[in-house]
C-alpha cells in the first residue's frame, strides 16, 4: 500500500517542496523529518536542501527519510542510511573528519592568529614613543620658562 | 546603425582607456604636468563613450531589435517595458558592459571631484582605474561582445529568465555593481599610494567616502536581492549561503572593515599598511565574486555564463591585479610608518577588534565557499558546504561583534578606560538582558535563539542611542540635532545592524508553517489566523499564464486581508514561477503560496507566519541610511572643496 502511495505521489507533477501528501501524521516524527531534510542536499539542484527543492529526486529522498523514521530509525541512523547510498555530497553540513578539520578549524585558527598579531601590534603601539612624549631637556625647560615670563 | 555606433564607441572607449592607463602614469613618474593632465579629459571621454555604447545596447533592447544575438537570447516583444530595459543587464554580456560603465563612471567622478588631490596622486589613481577598465573592455570585446549581429534574425526572442522579471531584481544588479566597482576606486587609491610611497591622514580622508559609498550600494544591492529571494522563490527564505550570495557578501564585510580602519588612518595615522591591504583584498573579493559568477566554477542559481574561456580570462585579470597589487604591497608596505601612539584599550584597538572580526568572518565565508572545490581537486572528496556550516561557523563572529560594538563605540581615542565605557553602557545592558529574559519566560520551551537575538538587537539599538546622547556632552537634547551628520550616521548604522540581527533571530526562532490540501470555501487555522481559499481562477498576463488563488485572511472572525497567491507559467521560457501573496506588517508577515490542484479535489496551499521578518530589511535600510548620513557630513564636503574656500578675515 505504501509503495503504491509512493508511486502515485511520484506521478504527480510537484511545483514546490514538501507536498501535503508527504506530511507524516505524527507531528513529532514530521518535525524530525523536516530537521533532517534541511541538512540534506538535493543532488540534482543548485545548492538547495531537499526540504526546499521541488525536484523529483528531492521528493524521493524526503519520502525515504520519512520511511526510515517510521521504521524506527534515529536521526543519525537515517542520515547514515542516506549517506551510505548517496555519498557525503548529500550532507549540507560537512563532516568534521579528515581534511575537513581544516574547513572547521579555519575560522577559529585565523581568529587566534589575528588576535595574536593585533596584540603584538598594540603592544608595540603602546610602547613606542614620539618626540612629544619625551620630557623636555633642562635646556628646553629653561628656554620655555623664559618665553612664558616675557 | 545605432548598434554599430555603440560597438564603435565601445572600441574607442577601450583605446581611450589604454591611453589613460599609460600616459598619466609615466607623467606622474617624470613629474610632467602635461602628461598627467591627460587623465582628466580621458576619464571623461572614456565615460561618455561607454555610456553611448550602453545606451545603444539599451536602445536595441527597448526596440526589440532581434538582429542582435543578445536581444534574441534575452528578450521578447511581449515583455513589459521595465523588463526590456532591465534585460539590458539581465545577461552576461550586458551586465559586463554595465560593470565597465560603472568603472568609467567612478573614474570620471574622481577626475571631476578630485580637484583637491595632489596632481601626481590623482594622475596615478586615474591611471590605475583606467587599467582596470582596459582589462574589462578587453574581456567584453574579445570574449563577450554584446553587439554581435545575427545573419538571419528570428521573428521573436527567447525571453528573459522569468525569475528575473521582477521589479526588485530589475534594480538589484545595478546597485550591486555600483558597490563592487566602487571598491575599484579604493583599490586605485591604494595602488596610487603604494606607488607614491605615501599614506597619510589626507589619503584616509579621500578614501573613506569612496569606500562608504561602495558599501552603501552593496548594502542596498544585497538587501534587494535578499528581499527578492524572500517573496519570489516561494518558501520565504531570505539568505541561502549560495556561492554567488557569498560573492557579494565577502566584499561587503571587507568594505565595512575598510571604512572603519580608514577612520583610524585619517584620525590617528595608524593601521596604514593594514588599511592598504584591506583595500586590495576588498576589490580582490569583488573580482573573485565576478569570477565565481561568470566562470560557472561554482554552480548556482545566478550563474548565467558557464563558459570556461571567460572564466580563464577573468582569472587572468584577477591574478594580474591582485597578484600585482600584493607584490607591490610586499615591496612598499614596510615604508609606511605609523605615527599615532595609543594604549591597549582605546578606540583604535576597538576598531582593530572590529576589523579582525569582520575580516575573519569574511575568511570563514571564503573558505566555506571554496572548500567543495578544494576538496574535489586535492582530496578527491565530493562534498557540500551548505547553510548549516555557515550558520555555525559564521554567526559567532557576528554575535561577538554585536556584543563589543556598543562598548567600543563610546571609547575615546588614544587611551580609554574599559571600566568607564562599560559603566556608561551598563544600564542599557541590564535593560536589554531584562527584555530578553521577559521574552524567554513568555515563549516557554522554545529555542534560546529568539531571546539571544532580541538581547543583541536591543543592546545594539539602545547602545547606539546612548552613544549619540554622550556626544551631546552637557548641553543635552538641544545639541542632539546639531551634532555632526557623521555622529548620526554612526548611530543609525549601528542601530540598523542591531535591527537586522533582531529580525533574523526573531524569524528563525518563531516562524511557523502549514502545508495542506485546502478545499474551496473551507476555512483552516494557522498560528491564530484563519484562512479560506475562496476561489481559484486561471488568467493571462502580458507574457505568461497564471493560476490565481483567492484567499481570505481573518483573525478572530474579522477579515484582515484578501491575498492573491499566483502560480505562473512563462510559455516562451517554459518556466513556472510562484508569486507568493504576503500580508505585510511590522510584527509578522503572513505568506501564502498556492500549489497544484490535487486529484482528490482541493489545492495544495502552503502558509507561513513569519514574525519580525521585515525588520531584516528595515535594518539594512537603516545601515545604508547611516552610511548616507555619514557621507553627507559637512566635513567631507569641506575637505572636498577646501581649495575653493576663500580666506575669512580674522576678528
CATH of the domain at A16: 1.10.8.640
List, as ranges, residues 84-123 from A with C-beta within 8 Å of B: 87-94, 98-100, 102-104, 106-107, 110-111, 114-115, 118, 121-123
Residue B550 confidence (pLDDT) = 94
Grid cell, residue A118, equals 593585533
Grid cell, residue B6, equals 555603440
Domain match, A76 and A114 both: no
Domain match, A44 and A80 both: yes
Check: CB of residue B386 under 8 Å from CB of residue B242: no
Instruction: Give the minimum alpha-carbon distance from B285 to chain A in angstroms, rounded to a whole number.
Output: 18
Domain match, A41 and A106 both: no
Calpha distance B238→B225 (Å, rounded) = 9
Check: CB of residue B536 under 8 Å from CB of residue B549: yes
Domain match, A46 and A116 both: no
User: CA of A13: which chain B residue's CA is closest?
Assistant: B596
Calpha distance B427→A44 (Å, rounded) = 53
Domain match, A117 and A85 both: no
- Exposed / middle / buried, residue B1 (Cβ in 10 Å: 0-12, 13-18, 19+): exposed
Of B270, B364, B382, the CB nearest to A107: B364
Residue A144 is assigned to a structural domain of this protein: no
Residue A21 confidence (pLDDT) = 75
User: How wide is the angle at C-alpha B105 spanned by C-alphas B75 and B216, nearest 5°?
Assistant: 85
Residue A150 is assigned to a structural domain of this protein: no
Instruction: Give the minimum alpha-carbon distance from A97 to chain B in angstroms, rounded to a whole number.
Output: 11
pLDDT tops 80 at residue A13 = no
Residues of chain B neighbouring A107 (CB-CB closer than 8 A): 360-361, 363-364, 367, 393-394, 397
Residues of chain B neighbouring A125 (CB-CB closer than 8 A): 270, 338, 340-342, 348
DSSP-derived 3-state class of residue A85: helix
Instruction: Give the minimum alpha-carbon distance from A78 to chain B in angstroms, rounded to a whole number.
Output: 18
Residue A2 confidence (pLDDT) = 45
Backbone dihedral angles phi then psi of residue B552, each to the nearest 5 degrees: -100, 125
Per 3-state DSSP, chain A is made up of helix, strand and coil in percentages (nearest 5) of: 65, 5, 30
Decide if A23 and B515 are in contact by the 8 Å CB cutoff.
yes
Grid cell, residue B359, equals 575580516
Of B405, B396, B398, nearest to B425 by C-alpha is B405
Of B279, B282, B284, B280, nearest to B262 by C-alpha is B279
Of A16, A87, A94, the CB nearest to B595: A16
DSSP-derived 3-state class of residue B281: helix
For residues A4-8, average pLDDT: 41
Of A52, A111, A125, the CB nearest to B235: A52
Decide if A107 and B367 are in contact by the 8 Å CB cutoff.
yes
Domains of chain A: total: 2
User: CA of B300: which chain A residue's CA is closest?
Assistant: A46
Grid cell, residue B274, equals 593594514
Domain match, A54 and A29 both: yes
User: B608-634 as b/e, with b when 16 or more CB fall inside 10 Å?
Assistant: bbbbbbbbbbbbbbbbbbbbbbbbebe
Residue A149 is assigned to a structural domain of this protein: no
User: CA of B568: which chain A residue's CA is closest?
Assistant: A15
Grid cell, residue B503, equals 529580525
Residue B445 confidence (pLDDT) = 64
First-to-final CA distance of chain A: 109
Domain match, A16 and A78 both: yes
Q: Does A41 touch chain B (CB under 8 A)?
A: yes
The strand pair at B529-540 and B524-526 is best described as antiparallel
Residue A146 is assigned to a structural domain of this protein: no
Instruction: Give the minimum alpha-carbon distance from B506 to chain A in angstroms, rounded to a whole number.
Output: 18
Calpha distance B74→A55 (Å, rounded) = 25
Backbone dihedral angles phi then psi of residue B344, each to the nearest 5 degrees: -60, -35
Domain match, A64 and A119 both: no
Calpha distance B343→B345 (Å, rounded) = 5
State the residue for C-alpha cell 555519498. A87
The residue out of A72, A90, A108 marking a domain boundary is A90
As averages over each run of 10 residues, the pLDDT of chain B (651 residues) reads 93 97 93 91 96 96 91 87 89 91 94 87 94 95 91 83 79 90 93 88 87 95 91 82 89 95 87 91 90 66 56 86 93 76 84 95 94 84 88 93 92 84 86 85 75 92 91 77 88 96 91 88 90 92 90 91 90 82 92 87 90 94 95 68 42 39
- The pLDDT tens digits for A26-80 are 888 888 888 898 889 888 777 788 888 877 888 888 999 999 998 888 999 999 9
- pLDDT category at A130 given cuts 50, 70, 90 is low
Decide if A14 and B599 are in contact by the 8 Å CB cutoff.
no
Decide if A126 and B359 are in contact by the 8 Å CB cutoff.
no
DSSP B142-165: HH--TT-B-SS--SS-----GGG-
Check: CB of residue B326 under 8 Å from CB of residue B222: no
Of A46, A90, A111, the CB nearest to B360: A111
Instruction: Give the minimum alpha-carbon distance from A75 to chain B in angstroms, rounded to a whole number.
Output: 16
Domain match, A9 and A43 both: yes
Calpha distance B511→B389 (Å, rounded) = 21
Residue A140 is assigned to a structural domain of this protein: no
Specify whether the backbone of B405 is left (phi greater than 0), alpha (psi in -120 to 50) or beta: alpha
Decide if B392 and A93 are in contact by the 8 Å CB cutoff.
yes
Of B48, B61, B22, B57, nearest to B140 by C-alpha is B57
Domain match, A73 and A27 both: yes
Calpha distance B95→B84 (Å, rounded) = 14
Residue A63 is assigned to a structural domain of this protein: yes
Q: Cα dihedral angle (B37, B41, B47, B53), rounded to 10 degrees?
A: -130
CB contact set of B1 (below 8 Å; sequence gap of 6+): none
Instruction: Give the minimum alpha-carbon distance from A61 to chain B in angstroms, rounded to a whole number.
Output: 17
Decide if A107 and B363 are in contact by the 8 Å CB cutoff.
yes
Instruction: Give the minimum alpha-carbon distance from B392 to chain A in angstroms, rounded to a whole number.
Output: 9
User: How many CB pairs below 8 Å do chains A and B form together?
Assistant: 138
Decide if B339 and A99 are in contact by the 8 Å CB cutoff.
no
Residues of chain B neighbouring A87 (CB-CB closer than 8 A): 382
Domain match, A30 and A104 both: no
Q: Please, how many CA atoms are within 13 Å of residue B222, restricted to the half-sphere of its CB?
A: 29
Residue A145 is assigned to a structural domain of this protein: no
**Structural domain boundaries enclosing A34:** 2-90
Residue A136 is assigned to a structural domain of this protein: no
CA-to-CA dists, residue B174 to A118, B126, B171, B617, angstroms: 37, 22, 6, 18
Calpha distance B334→B262 (Å, rounded) = 18
Calpha distance B545→A132 (Å, rounded) = 77
Domain match, A100 and A77 both: no
DSSP state of B319: I
Distance of CA B216 to the CA centre of its chain: 7
Q: Which of A125, A129, A133 to mutate to test the interface with B (most CBs of B within 10 A)?
A: A125
Decide if B343 and A133 are in contact by the 8 Å CB cutoff.
no
Residue B198 confidence (pLDDT) = 82
The pTM of the full predicted model, rounded to 2 decimals, is 0.89
Amino acid at each position: 500500500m505504501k509503495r503504491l502511495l509512493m508511486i502515485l505521489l511520484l506521478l504527480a507533477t510537484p511545483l514546490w517542496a514538501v507536498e501535503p501528501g508527504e506530511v507524516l501524521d505524527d507531528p513529532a516524527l514530521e518535525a524530525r523529518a523536516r530537521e533532517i531534510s534541511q541538512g540534506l542536499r538535493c543532488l540534482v539542484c543548485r545548492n538547495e536542501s531537499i526540504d526546499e527543492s521541488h525536484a523529483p529526486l528531492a521528493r524521493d529522498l524526503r519520502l525515504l527519510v520519512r520511511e526510515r523514521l517510521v521504521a524506527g530509525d534515529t536521526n543519525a541512523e537515517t542520515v547514515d542510511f542516506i549517506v551510505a547510498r548517496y555519498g557525503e555530497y548529500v550532507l549540507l553540513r560537512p563532516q568534521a573528519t579528515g581534511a575537513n578539520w581544516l574547513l572547521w578549524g579555519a575560522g577559529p585558527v585565523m581568529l587566534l592568529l589575528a588576535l595574536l598579531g593585533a596584540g603584538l601590534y598594540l603592544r608595540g603601539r603602546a610602547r613606542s614613543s614620539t618626540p612629544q612624549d619625551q620630557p623636555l631637556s633642562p635646556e628646553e625647560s629653561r628656554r620655555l620658562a623664559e618665553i612664558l615670563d616675557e | 546603425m545605432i548598434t554599430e555606433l555603440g560597438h564603435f564607441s565601445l572600441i574607442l572607449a577601450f583605446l581611450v582607456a589604454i591611453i589613460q592607463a599609460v600616459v598619466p602614469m609615466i607623467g606622474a613618474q617624470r613629474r610632467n604636468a602635461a602628461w598627467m593632465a591627460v587623465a582628466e579629459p580621458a576619464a571623461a571621454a572614456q565615460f561618455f563613450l561607454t555610456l553611448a555604447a550602453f545606451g545603444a545596447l539599451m536602445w536595441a533592447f527597448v526596440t526589440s531589435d532581434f538582429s542582435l544575438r543578445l536581444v534574441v537570447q534575452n528578450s521578447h516583444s511581449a515583455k513589459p517595458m521595465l523588463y526590456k530595459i532591465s534585460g539590458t543587464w539581465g545577461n552576461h554580456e550586458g551586465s559586463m558592459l554595465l560593470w565597465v560603465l560603472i568603472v568609467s563612471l567612478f573614474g570620471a567622478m574622481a577626475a571631476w571631484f578630485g580637484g583637491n588631490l595632489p596632481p601626481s596622486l590623482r594622475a596615478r589613481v586615474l591611471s590605475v582605474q583606467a587599467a582596470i577598465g582596459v582589462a574589462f573592455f578587453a574581456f567584453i570585446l574579445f570574449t563577450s561582445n554584446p553587439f554581435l549581429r545575427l545573419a538571419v534574425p528570428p521573428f521573436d526572442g527567447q525571453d528573459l529568465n522569468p525569475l528575473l522579471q521582477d521589479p526588485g531584481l530589475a534594480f538589484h544588479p545595478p546597485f550591486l555593481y555600483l558597490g563592487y566597482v566602487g571598491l575599484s576606486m579604493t583599490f586605485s587609491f591604494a595602488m596610487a599610494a603604494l606607488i607614491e610611497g605615501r599614506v597619510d591622514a589626507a589619503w584616509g580622508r579621500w578614501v573613506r567616502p569612496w569606500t562608504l559609498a561602495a558599501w552603501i550600494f552593496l548594502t542596498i544591492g544585497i538587501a534587494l536581492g535578499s528581499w527578492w529571494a524572500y517573496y519570489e522563490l516561494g518558501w520565504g527564505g531570505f539568505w541561502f549561503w549560495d556561492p554567488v550570495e557569498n560573492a557579494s557578501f565577502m566584499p561587503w564585510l571587507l568594505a565595512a572593515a575598510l571604512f572603519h580602519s580608514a577612520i583610524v588612518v585619517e584620525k590617528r595615522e595608524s593601521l596604514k599598511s593594514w588599511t592598504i591591504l584591506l583595500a586590495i583584498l576588498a576589490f580582490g573579493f569583488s573580482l573573485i565574486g565576478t569570477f565565481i559568477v561568470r566562470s560557472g566554477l561554482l554552480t548556482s542559481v545566478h550563474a548565467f555564463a558557464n563558459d570556461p574561456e571567460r572564466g580563464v580570462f577573468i582569472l587572468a585579470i584577477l591574478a594580474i591585479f591582485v597578484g600585482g597589487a600584493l607584490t607591490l604591497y610586499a615591496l612598499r608596505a614596510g615604508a609606511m610608518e605609523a605615527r599615532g601612539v595609543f594604549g591597549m584599550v582605546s578606540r583604535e584597538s576597538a576598531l582593530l577588534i572590529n576589523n579582525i572580526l569582520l575580516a575573519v568572518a569574511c575568511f570563514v565565508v571564503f573558505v566555506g565557499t571554496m572548500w567543495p572545490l578544494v576538496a574535489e581537486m586535492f582530496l578527491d572528496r565530493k562534498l557540500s558546504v551548505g547553510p548549516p556550516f555557515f550558520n555555525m561557523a559564521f554567526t559567532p563572529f557576528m554575535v561577538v561583534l554585536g556584543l563589543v560594538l556598543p562598548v567600543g563605540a563610546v571609547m575615546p581615542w588614544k587611551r580609554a578606560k574599559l571600566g568607564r565605557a562599560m559603566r556608561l553602557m551598563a544600564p542599557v545592558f541590564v535593560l536589554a538582558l531584562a527584555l530578553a529574559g521577559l521574552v524567554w519566560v513568555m515563549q516557554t520551551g522554545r529555542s534560546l535563539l529568539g531571546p539571544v537575538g532580541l538581547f543583541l538587537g536591543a543592546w545594539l539599538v539602545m547602545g547606539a542611542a546612548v552613544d549619540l546622547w554622550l556626544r551631546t556632552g552637557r548641553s543635552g537634547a538641544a545639541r542632539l540635532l546639531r551634532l555632526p551628520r557623521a555622529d548620526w550616521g554612526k548611530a543609525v548604522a549601528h542601530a540598523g545592524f542591531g535591527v537586522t540581527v533582531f529580525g533574523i533571530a526573531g524569524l528563525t526562532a518563531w516562524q511557523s508553517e502549514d502545508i495542506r490540501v485546502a478545499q474551496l470555501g473551507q476555512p483552516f487555522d494557522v498560528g491564530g489566523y484563519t484562512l479560506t481559499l475562496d476561489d481559484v481562477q486561471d488568467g493571462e498576463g502580458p507574457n505568461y499564464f497564471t493560476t490565481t488563488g483567492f484567499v481570505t485572511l481573518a483573525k478572530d472572525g474579522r477579515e484582515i486581508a484578501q491575498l492573491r497567491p499566483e502560480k505562473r507559467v512563462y510559455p516562451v521560457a517554459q518556466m513556472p514561477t510562484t508569486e507568493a501573496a504576503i500580508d505585510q506588517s511590522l510584527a509578522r508577515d503572513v505568506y501564502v503560496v498556492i500549489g497544484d490542484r490535487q486529484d482528490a479535489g482541493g489545492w495544495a496551499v502552503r502558509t507561513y507566519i513569519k514574525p519580525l521578518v521585515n525588520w531584516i530589511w528595515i535594518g539594512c535600510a537603516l545601515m545604508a541610511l547611516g552610511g548616507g548620513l555619514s557621507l553627507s557630513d559637512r566635513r567631507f564636503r569641506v575637505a572636498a572643496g577646501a581649495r575653493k574656500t576663500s580666506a575669512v578675515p580674522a576678528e
